[in-house]
Amino acid sequence: MGQIFAVTNQKGGVGKTTTSVNLAASLAATKRKILLIDLDPQGNATMGCGIMKNELDRTVYDLLTKKAKFEEVVVETTHGQFDVLPANGDLVAAEVELLNEIGREHRLRLGLNEVRTNYDFIVIDCPPSLNMLTVNALSASDGVIIPMQCEYYALEGLAALMTTIEQIRETINPDLKISGILRTMYDP
């Protein structure tokens, strides 16, 4: 069964998308079957994989809102190295649409249940906030990779993220683990 990792930090500009895309590409280069999920409405991971986000008929939004099945949303990268669940600005609407839904925090996990065994690793690029999209990622994940800038103020944001991860562990996903903190933008 494929391992799922959420790459998250509520702070923007710390390297989440760069980490996610490069991790997916690196794992694919080792001949593993990889799925990259873009859960950020900015769609930068989608674009970083050579997929034109504004030309998509279906995105991860459609999976989360049960308007499409996994196989209708998944896209192969232009070089065919790994699969992507793409995103664009439509994903912003998912937050509002899921607001009153029962089990809203499990939508991504449910959408991946049938296909998880098809992949060795699933990497989720999270948005720069602790919102329902991030909660869905943490609910579906086995581990969390936290990109963090090498600066003092980054530690303050880390404390808030750790609290959120602990709350997710206590209420939604007791198996969630912190897989590691990845120091980014290091300047000696």
β-sheet bridge partners, residue 125: 7, 38
**CATH architecture type of domain 3-184:** 3-Layer(aba) Sandwich (3.40)
**Domain map (residue ranges) of the chain:** 3-184
pLDDT-derived band at 188, boundaries 50, 70, 90: confident
Backbone phi, psi, residue 123, to 5°: -115, 125
Per-residue pLDDT band for 129 (boundaries 50, 70, 90) equals: confident
In tens, the pLDDT along 70-128 reads 999 999 987 779 999 999 999 999 988 988 888 899 999 999 988 999 999 999 999 99
Q: Identify which has the larger pLDDT, 185 or 64.
A: 64
Closest CA to 145 of 1, 21, 51: 21
The answer to whether residues 38 and 127 touch, using CB atoms and an 8 Å cutoff, is no
pTM of the model: 0.94
CA distances from 86 to 19, 41, 114, 154 (A): 16, 10, 18, 28
Q: Which one has a higher pLDDT value, 91 or 185? A: 91
